[in-house]
Amino acid sequence: MGELNLSKVEEIRRKRKKAHSKLLSLGSKVYEKFLQLEEATYADGALKKKDKELIATGIAVATDCESCMEWHIGEAVKSGATFREVLEAIEVGIEFGGGKATVSARFALEVMDALSRNVKG
């Protein structure tokens, strides 16, 4: 997984942070409600945050949402998910999404690679 793909992951992060700041600075009520929904959705309940992030990772692979993969994989790892747990969530996304999801899975693996580089360096 090359340097080009690592910069793609970093570009997704940069764009997300910029859009987040912009929407907050504009006082978007809808965005504020979305953030509240997100907080409530991923809070520990019968399922722990880690498990919910793993579910979201599989959904992101199945729906081919690169920004979602980058976010939810990172959140799963922050919540204690292991490499193997994230990989299995990606595999669930592959099964659910069929052949098209294997393309998404390749990007998800690039995200995992980028995360491991950030942790090491």
- Please name each of the domains of the chain with its CATH number: 3-120 (1.20.1290.10)
Pull the structure tokens for residue 102: 């294997």
45-78 residues labelled b (16+ CB within 10 A) or e (exposed)? eeeebbbbbbbbbbbbbbebbbebbbbbbbbbbe
The per-residue pLDDT for range 101-120, each reduced to its tens digit, is 888 899 999 999 988 887 65
Q: Give the C-alpha distances (Å, rounded to integers) separating 59 from 14, 33, 88, 101.
A: 23, 22, 12, 10
Say how many CA atoms lie within 13 Å of 11 toward its Cβ: 7
pTM for this predicted structure: 0.82
What are the pLDDT digits (tens) for 50-105?
A: 999 999 999 999 999 999 999 999 999 999 999 999 999 999 999 998 888 888 89
